[in-house]
Amino acid sequence: MYTIFPPQIKCYMRQLLSGLEHCHMRGIMHRDIKLSNILLNNEGVLKIGDFGLANTISTNSKHHLTSRVVTLWYRPPELLMGSTNYGVSVDLWSVGCVFAELFLGKPILKGRTEVILIINVFNLCYVVLLFINVELWRCKHFIQFEILG
């Protein structure tokens, strides 16, 4: 086990967000931000790796994407519920998960299935289903989760 001090975390997060801004401003979503895809050299310089799931940002809402991206523990609620119309927010959710993991020393959201993970997300965030974003209600898998809830 190793300890990462808050000033180091701040430095790493600044570099990560700056790198993602660079990608997003050039029309690229990474879609698989997680600790194992973040590379650090011995001088503390961060690089984002593994662009295998990356895709272009589409302003055309008719261009549907797959919801089966982003490693499960870092996947945002809209993808867990099957949304195929999303943008850079999927990367930002993953960055939040990485941030928490750096502070806690372990993943903040663990689950073996999408159903378990979405329940964990709701429990962690104390989300009341009536106040969920309208777009979430339109996702094709929401009815499944409503029945399980």
Q: Report the C-alpha gap between 74 and 97 in whole angstroms.
A: 6
Say whether 32 is catalytic.
Answer: yes
Give me the catalytic one of 12, 29, 32, 114: 32
Sign of the four-CA dihedral 101, 106, 108, 110: positive
Who's near 138: CB < 8 A, 6+ residues apart? none
Q: Report the C-alpha gap between 134 and 82 in whole angstroms.
A: 14
Catalytic machinery residues = 32
